[in-house]
Amino acid sequence: MKNLTNLELLIQQYCRDAGFPSYGFTSPVLDDKYRKHLETWLSSGNQADMNWMKKNVCERTDLTIRFPWVKSVLVVAENYFSDYPNRHDEAVIARYSRGEDYHRILEQKLKKLLTKLKMADSSIIGKTYVDTSAVLEKAFAVSAGLGWQGKNATIIIENVGSFCFLGVLLLNREFPVGAETPNRCGSCEKCLKSCPGNAISEPGFVDARKCNAYLTIEKKGNFSNEEKSGLQKCLYGCDICQSACPWNHLWAKQATEIRYFNHSEMLDRSLFDWEKLTVADFQDFFKDSPIHRLKYDRFRRNITALRNL
């Protein structure tokens, strides 16, 4: 059997070289508290019309059901924060989508690591996921010790904050599991109080039906008058609760991966300019952006809703 310590050192060195501010290992089988939390969240209809989230609940917290070979889960975090000063605040685009598609960038980095591991040990089996399948990335991140889950359900990482992408690499090797980080939100409720739709019904429970991130990205069809009234100039996504977090005020700093914010200037447009956007413009602007999956019609819906506020 290959020396697991050498593989662990290889992973640690790669994560440092890749610029991941936090990373860690955990078991592929989560503590039962995570499944119960998910089931409680779903039972109240917080998933809105994202009914796919109700499928395979057990598989989300026990990855060995689908992948019996998995022994460890490596979770990595990637900082995407940018302090680019928007000149136009009547049509705000969330920070995570102000650059190239994070799915592609982060998955490429994880696949490169997997290739290195296979070169060191040909018996290595691995699989990467970046926000694209039935994996509870945030729960695995907490279990791996990357950070704690804030009251707005984001992962808060020491010296980084919550403006982070998460990626996972499933491996058929067992590595030392990280220790969970104590929750340091205390009595603070700034994220709850800042949410324009009061979507954070209680700490750790976000009602998608009232959340601007869901409404402007995932929701199909037109907005109700109540939904429109709470959009708060959000054209795509929402950073309001994260921007209110004191830990982000203390820790958030410019990402080193410039591809996560290299479209910031191009997207800094007035609502009037966005109204002139054609289908061809949309395809050209967002061809390598996470916004592309929204499609033109829903992007126009968002523009129209902000114009009619």
Which amino acids are annotated catalytic? 131
Beta strand residue intervals within the chain, DSSP E: 22-26, 72-79, 92-93, 126-129, 148-149, 155-156, 164-171, 200-202, 205-206, 234-236
* Residue 155 three-state SS: strand
126 near 116, Cβ under 8 Å? no
Other Cβ atoms less than 10 A from the Cβ of 229: the count is 13
Q: How far apart are CA 11 and CA 17, in angstroms?
A: 10
Q: How far apart are CA 90 and CA 87, in angstroms?
A: 9
**Residue from 108, 124, 101, 111 nearest 169 by CA:** 111
